[in-house]
């Protein structure tokens, strides 16, 4: 008998079991979901809404979800799923494949790896790092790469979510409070971000804060979707945000609205500098034998030069002068003319009166003045996101924003600060790589070893904070690791030389080429040991796991496919769907998807909760998790090594590596046989380290779905939040600096606005300033901006048919009405977007919300969704700012996921014409 419609409907919503899951994607939102399944198949998911209210009076985070996550299960069996290992049959990218067994695939990959080691050394095996796929994905390939001594290209140098300006200012980029802290703000500046598209799970805090009385201002070139959430919309000319911020700073200084005590304690603005050279007055200049990193101020209380304390930001009765010029006696008896950074800043701000800056940034002087006064009088938080890092001079914008917050005392208190990204401390993950075997005794041994190393470092610098020493320790770890800032790889191996040397597309302050600076930096040894594989070593094998460089490579897919690919013996892609990169692989290894695997998401401060996933169903086809793939590959390499005559070898650091014990090394002799055993260890160790409560155990997570972090742990990425973690309060970044006087991890131990490095002086960027965006791409009338779309996290949901039904279902450029009319372009037309770098075709939406002179193309579209498979990165040269090649200057030195040269992909100049 045919079941009735009601019973079919009821059947649709009848399940056998529920499991918890989050989506381990690079939105990093850690939204907890419940997944409903029956007969081994996932039926649907819904937001679990399991977050408890943290602080009385502050709304909870529920439901913490978005439409992409709520429709994820549609993709599990979508037509683009990769189900079986496959080998390329025809030319690369021709789309001709043959299905092979796992054994065949692993044998072919293992042989290629062993040959590469034998021929060019293990550093010729290159992994593209990613933050997609969750920690179990990362751990698998990073462990494998680490055992081989391969090269792992730093993810932030690839995707560029690195706000260099934050790092320049604070010595770290991790400064985001938990998202519920937004509720405490009195003034919210949505600036260079579009949270109603990109932060759907927690954008509600902006609205709730507004209901609570907060003022919300949206600063953007276009009337962005997030402008709808604001009381005030300020239309800024693209890439001129530094001018706007500095003009506000000028108003605040001129009108005496600044917070003097905050500036004195938190920043380098009172520090003494040479009047002429603008270099800090350093210890040995004043006292023979004094530390190079001892700095000074003029103490108004004593009327004399005094050491600026290195161990605390507290003033302890001192009254460091902001204004004035002074003469101090040097160690050699000479008279040294000095002034303060504050005085230099005031001179700098002379160029940024609202009347002068207004025409630059396109904002009326009255609006600048009013907003400056509001910032000075209110607890202000900047919701910033990851847009600024993708501008050539994004660092200057960020430094200017930080200066605005510094002048007004706006960090370290609830409802203040700048909201980008911050990593929380899942210390078990950090400890994992250091443990030789499983178990608590080993954990304690490692933890005590780390503490011993920290104490040894402290003995060299007793005034250093735990955070500073944590960074020191991380720095030392880099030397033994596999990480490499990818700018060098791109320059030497991917055909960027000509592009990056184009002076007209770069900063025009100096005449030197990018290559000149790169050679200079390399010659000085600033990036010693990190340039891998070096210019003389051809990369042999490229591993791409859960990421999609052919789609998003700044500089266009040609850079990879025409320059890098021909050098490669083997391109191995581990993916769950046929992405643009998978299409270009030699060997495709099918990976399990969300809901098909246990996983933990990156620990970040947005929710400040663990993102946890269980397996709800078996992987589709023959797909495997990355842990299982790399475990099997380890065994296969070990099996093949004797036959190929490579059992041991020396890596690039002359350290002996072994292939004949690789399988046991990968699993720690069977201890980490599967994902759950790894997760269990991480979670238990995190509890040991104090970053998770007991309710963070694997068993408890299976019952509760999540747990809130209980501490920042013992490692630098977590400690950099510098916040007190309490069970009943939102997490506010930088509390330690403001409330406890804990110094910043910068050269001067203060939020640092003067960088007295000669290259910064050469670039005329020693202090925050505005520079016009270079004519990247050529002299064309439209400036192309971008951002994440509403419908997908990068390309992850691009093939989701439900999502596709919520928009036009194809790539889209948004052009202003006037610009469209003047070019004879109508809504829906196919246009060519072009500049001197390249071109592509795309449909146009004509909209009155886009600023004249602007073109918006949200990112995430796969190249094969465009005519001719040419995507939007074809017009992005991916310029790298040469100034970021500076290293070995205080806090400006390479840190994984941190300071390094990064490519800019936004604010390129283009023209559009009807195709």
Partner 1 sequence: MFVYSLAGLQVDGGQLPEIELPDNETTARTGVYQALARLLSVPDRDAYEAAAAGEWGARLAAAGKLLGFQHDFGNAAIDPGIAEEDFQAEFLRVFEIGSGNGPAAPLYGGLYSPDRMQRLEEVVRFYEYFGLTTSAEDPRPADHLATELEFMKYLTYKEAVSPSPRLQSSYRRAQHDFLDRQLVPWLPKLLEKTREAATWPYFEWVAGTAAAFVAADAEYAASAVAV
Nearest CA to 867 among 895, 843, 885? 843
- The token pair at 763 is 């670039």
Angle at 391 between CA 234 and CA 823, to 5 degrees: 70
Closer Cβ to partner 1, 702 or 893, answer by number: 702
Give the interface segment with partner 1, choosing from 142-150, 444-452, 723-731, 825-833 (CB under 8 A): 444-452
Give the interface segment with partner 1, choosing from 62-70, 210-218, 242-250, 684-692 (CB under 8 A): 684-692
Considering only 54, 401, 592, 698, the residue that binds partner 1 (CB under 8 A) is 698
| Partner residues linked to 18 by β-bridges | 36
Closer Cβ to partner 1, 217 or 725, answer by number: 725
**Minimal distance in Å, beta carbon 677 to partner 1?**
7
Which stretches of 560-672 are DSSP H helices? Answer: 626-644, 662-667
Closer Cβ to partner 1, 705 or 838, answer by number: 705
Q: Which helix (H) or strand (E) holds 217?
A: strand 215-220
Q: Which helix (H) or strand (E) holds 35?
A: strand 33-38
Give the interface segment with partner 1, choosing from 76-84, 492-500, 616-624, 673-681 (CB under 8 A): 673-681
Whole-angstrom distance, CA of residue 238 vs CA of residue 246: 15
Nearest CA to 227 among 217, 239, 237, 236? 217
Nearest CA to 549 among 522, 519, 585? 585
Return the residues of window 447-466 that contact partner 1 according to CB under 8 A: 447-448
Return the residues of window 857-896 that contact partner 1 according to CB under 8 A: none
**Minimal distance in Å, beta carbon 447 to partner 1?**
7
Give the interface segment with partner 1, choosing from 153-161, 470-478, 630-638, 692-700 (CB under 8 A): 692-700
Closer Cβ to partner 1, 543 or 672, answer by number: 672
Q: Is 140 helix (H, G, I), strand (E, B) or coil?
A: helix
Sequence-distant (≥ 6) Cβ neighbours of residue 527 within 8 angstroms: 485, 488, 521, 885, 887, 894
Closer Cβ to partner 1, 249 or 450, answer by number: 450
Find the farthest-apart pair of alpha carbons in the chain and give their distance in angstroms, rounded. 105
Closer Cβ to partner 1, 621 or 699, answer by number: 699
677 binds partner 1 (CB under 8 A): yes
Angle at 621 between CA 619 and CA 627, to 5 degrees: 45
Give the interface segment with partner 1, choosing from 385-393, 573-581, 626-634, 670-678 (CB under 8 A): 670-678
Closer Cβ to partner 1, 314 or 688, answer by number: 688
Give the interface segment with partner 1, choosing from 86-94, 247-255, 383-391, 697-705 (CB under 8 A): 697-705
Q: Rounded to 5 degrees, what are φ and ψ at 681?
A: -65, -45
Nearest CA to 236 among 853, 858, 910, 859? 853
Considering only 304, 440, 480, 826, the residue that binds partner 1 (CB under 8 A) is 440
702 binds partner 1 (CB under 8 A): yes
**Minimal distance in Å, beta carbon 441 to partner 1?**
6
Q: Is 134 helix (H, G, I), strand (E, B) or coil?
A: helix
Considering only 507, 681, 735, 836, the residue that binds partner 1 (CB under 8 A) is 681
Closer Cβ to partner 1, 67 or 677, answer by number: 677
692 binds partner 1 (CB under 8 A): no
617 binds partner 1 (CB under 8 A): no
**Minimal distance in Å, beta carbon 20 to partner 1?**
14
DSSP-derived letter for residue 204 is H
The CA–CA distances, whole Å, from 640 to 110, 111, 175, 574, 646 equal 7, 7, 47, 21, 9
| Partner residues linked to 815 by β-bridges | 846, 855
Compose the 291-310 pattern: x for residues touching partner 1 by CB under 8 A, - for all others: --------------------
Contact call for residues 281 and 338 (beta carbons, < 8 A)? yes
- The token pair at 265 is 């304690």
- The token pair at 141 is 């390939």
Closer Cβ to partner 1, 42 or 687, answer by number: 687
Compose the 467-506 pattern: x for residues touching partner 1 by CB under 8 A, - for all others: ----------------------------------------
**Minimal distance in Å, beta carbon 443 to partner 1?**
8
| Partner residues linked to 191 by β-bridges | 219
Q: Is cis: bond before 776, omega within 30 of 0?
A: no
Closer Cβ to partner 1, 356 or 671, answer by number: 671
Contact call for residues 385 and 193 (beta carbons, < 8 A)? yes
92 binds partner 1 (CB under 8 A): no
Half-sphere exposure of 887 (CA within 13 A, CB side): 23
Whole-angstrom distance, CA of residue 668 vs CA of residue 96: 39
Whole-angstrom distance, CA of residue 627 vs CA of residue 2: 45
**Minimal distance in Å, beta carbon 791 to partner 1?**
37
676 binds partner 1 (CB under 8 A): yes
46 binds partner 1 (CB under 8 A): no
- The token pair at 844 is 């146009």
826 binds partner 1 (CB under 8 A): no
Angle, in degrees to the nearest 10, between helices 440-460 and 466-480? 110
Closer Cβ to partner 1, 206 or 692, answer by number: 692
439 binds partner 1 (CB under 8 A): yes
Residue 700: left (phi > 0), alpha (psi -120 to 50), or beta?
alpha
Give the interface segment with partner 1, choosing from 189-197, 690-698, 726-734, 738-746 (CB under 8 A): 690-698
Give the interface segment with partner 1, choosing from 112-120, 219-227, 696-704, 857-865 (CB under 8 A): 696-704
Considering only 45, 186, 680, 765, the residue that binds partner 1 (CB under 8 A) is 680
Closer Cβ to partner 1, 513 or 677, answer by number: 677
**What's the per-residue H, E or C state across 827-884?**
CCCEEEEECCCCEEEEEEEEECCCCCCEEECCECCCHHHCHHHCCHHHHCCCEECHHH
**Minimal distance in Å, beta carbon 35 to partner 1?**
17
Give the interface segment with partner 1, choosing from 87-95, 125-133, 188-196, 432-440 (CB under 8 A): 432-440
Nearest CA to 630 among 45, 166, 105? 105
Nearest CA to 41 among 71, 78, 76? 76
| Partner residues linked to 577 by β-bridges | 81
Whole-angstrom distance, CA of residue 115 vs CA of residue 117: 5
**Minimal distance in Å, beta carbon 626 to partner 1?**
21
If binding means CB under 8 A, how many residues of this protein chain bind partner 1?
Answer: 22
Whole-angstrom distance, CA of residue 527 vs CA of residue 540: 23
- Can you say how many angstroms the Cα of residue 855 is from the centroid of all Cα atoms in its chain? 25
**Minimal distance in Å, beta carbon 685 to partner 1?**
9
**Minimal distance in Å, beta carbon 698 to partner 1?**
7
Whole-angstrom distance, CA of residue 751 vs CA of residue 737: 10
**Minimal distance in Å, beta carbon 432 to partner 1?**
13
694 binds partner 1 (CB under 8 A): yes
Compose the 135-174 pattern: x for residues touching partner 1 by CB under 8 A, - for all others: ----------------------------------------
Considering only 168, 464, 633, 687, the residue that binds partner 1 (CB under 8 A) is 687
438 binds partner 1 (CB under 8 A): yes
Please give the residue ranges that form the binding site for partner 1 (CB under 8 A).
438-441, 443-444, 447-448, 671, 676-677, 680-681, 684, 687-688, 694, 697-700, 702
């Amino acid at each position: 008998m045919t079941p009735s419609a009601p019973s079919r409907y009821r059947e649709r919503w009848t399940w056998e079991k529920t499991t918890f899951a989050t989506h381990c994607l690079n939105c990093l939102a850690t939204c907890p979901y419940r997944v409903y399944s029956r007969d081994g198949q996932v039926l649907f998911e819904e937001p679990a809404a399991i977050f408890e209210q943290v602080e009385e009076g502050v709304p909870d985070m529920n439901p913490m979800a978005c439409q992409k996550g709520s429709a994820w299960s549609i993709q599990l069996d979508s037509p683009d799923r990769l189900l079986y290992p496959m080998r390329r049959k025809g030319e690369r990218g021709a789309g001709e494949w043959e299905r092979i067994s796992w054994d065949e695939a692993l044998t072919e990959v293992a042989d290629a790896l062993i040959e590469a080691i034998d021929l060019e050394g293990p550093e010729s095996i290159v992994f593209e790092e990613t933050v997609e796929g969750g920690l179990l994905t990362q751990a698998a390939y990073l462990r494998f790469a680490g055992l081989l001594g391969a090269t792992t290209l730093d993810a932030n140098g690839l995707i560029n979510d690195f706000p260099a300006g934050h790092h320049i200012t604070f010595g770290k980029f991790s400064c985001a409070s938990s998202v519920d802290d937004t509720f405490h703000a009195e003034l919210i500046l949505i600036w260079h971000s579009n949270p109603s598209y990109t932060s759907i799970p927690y954008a509600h805090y902006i609205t709730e804060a507004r209901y609570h009385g907060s003022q919300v201002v949206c600063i953007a070139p276009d009337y962005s979707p997030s402008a709808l959430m604001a009381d005030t919309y300020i239309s800024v000319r693209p890439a001129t945000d530094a001018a706007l911020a500095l003009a506000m700073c000028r108003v605040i200084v001129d009108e005496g609205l600044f917070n003097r005590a905050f500036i004195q304690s938190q920043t380098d603005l009172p520090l003494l500098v040479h009047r002429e050279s603008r270099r800090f007055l350093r210890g040995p200049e004043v006292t023979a034998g004094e530390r190079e990193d001892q700095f000074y101020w003029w103490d108004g209380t004593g009327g004399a030069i005094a050491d600026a304390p290195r161990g605390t930001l507290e003033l302890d009765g001192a009254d460091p002068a902001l204004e004035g010029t002074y003469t101090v006696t040097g160690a050699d008896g000479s008279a040294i003319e000095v002034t303060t950074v504050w005085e230099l800043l005031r001179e700098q701000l002379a160029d940024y009166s609202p009347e002068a800056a207004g025409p630059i940034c396109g904002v009326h002087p009255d609006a600048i003045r009013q907003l400056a006064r509001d910032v000075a009088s209110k607890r202000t938080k900047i919701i910033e996101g990851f847009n600024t890092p993708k501008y050539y001079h994004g660092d200057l914008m960020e430094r200017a924003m930080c200066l605005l917050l510094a002048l007004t005392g706006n960090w370290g208190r609830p409802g203040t600060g700048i909201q980008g990204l911050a990593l929380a401390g899942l210390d078990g993950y950090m400890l994992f790589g250091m443990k030789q075997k499983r178990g608590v005794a080993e954990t304690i041994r490692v933890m005590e070893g780390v503490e011993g190393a920290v104490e040894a470092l402290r003995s060299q610098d007793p005034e250093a904070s735990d955070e500073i020493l944590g960074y020191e320790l991380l720095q030392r770890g880099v030397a033994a690791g596999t990480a490499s800032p990818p700018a060098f790889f791109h320059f030497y191996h991917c055909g960027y030389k000509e592009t990056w040397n184009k002076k007209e597309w770069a900063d025009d302050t100096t005449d030197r080429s990018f290559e000149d600076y790169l050679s200079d930096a390399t010659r000085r040894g600033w990036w010693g040991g990190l340039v891998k594989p070096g210019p003389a070593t051809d990369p042999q094998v490229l591993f791409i796991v859960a990421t999609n460089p052919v789609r998003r490579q700044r500089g266009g897919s040609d850079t990879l496919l025409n320059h890098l690919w021909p050098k490669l013996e083997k391109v191995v892609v581990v993916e769950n769907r046929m992405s643009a990169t998978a299409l270009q692989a030699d060997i495709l290894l099918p990976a399990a998807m969300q809901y098909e695997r246990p996983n933990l998401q990156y620990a970040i401060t947005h929710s400040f909760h663990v993102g946890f996933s269980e397996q709800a169903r078996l992987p589709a086809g023959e797909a495997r998790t990355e842990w299982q793939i790399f475990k099997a590959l380890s065994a296969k390499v070990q099996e093949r090594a004797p036959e190929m005559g490579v059992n041991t070898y020396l890596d690039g650091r002359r350290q002996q590596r072994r292939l004949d014990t690789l399988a046991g090394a990968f699993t720690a002799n069977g201890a980490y046989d599967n994902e759950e055993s790894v997760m269990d260890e991480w979670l238990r160790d995190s509890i040991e380290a104090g970053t998770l409560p007991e309710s963070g155990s694997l068993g408890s997570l299976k019952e509760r779905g999540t747990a809130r972090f209980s501490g920042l742990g013992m490692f630098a990425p977590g400690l950099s939040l510098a916040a007190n973690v309490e069970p009943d309060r939102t997490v506010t970044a930088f509390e330690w600096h403001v409330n406890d006087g804990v110094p910043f991890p910068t050269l001067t131990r203060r939020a640092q606005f003067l960088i007295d490095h000669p290259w910064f002086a050469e670039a005329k960027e020693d202090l925050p300033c505005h520079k016009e965006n270079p004519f990247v791409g050529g002299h064309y009338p439209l400036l192309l901006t971008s951002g994440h779309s509403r419908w997908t996290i990068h390309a992850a949901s691009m093939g989701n048919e439900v999502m596709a039904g919520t928009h036009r279902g194809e790539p889209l450029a948004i052009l202003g009405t006037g610009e469209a009319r003047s070019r004879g372009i109508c809504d829906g037309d196919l246009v060519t977007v072009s500049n001197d770098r390249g071109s592509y075709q795309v449909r146009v939406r004509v909209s009155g919300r886009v600023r004249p002179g602007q073109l918006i193309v949200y990112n995430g579209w796969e190249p094969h969704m465009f005519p001719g498979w040419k995507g939007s990165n074809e017009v992005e040269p991916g310029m790298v700012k040469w100034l970021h090649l500076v290293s070995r200057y205080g806090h400006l030195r390479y840190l994984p996921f941190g300071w390094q040269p990064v490519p800019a992909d936004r604010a390129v100049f283009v023209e559009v014409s009807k195709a």
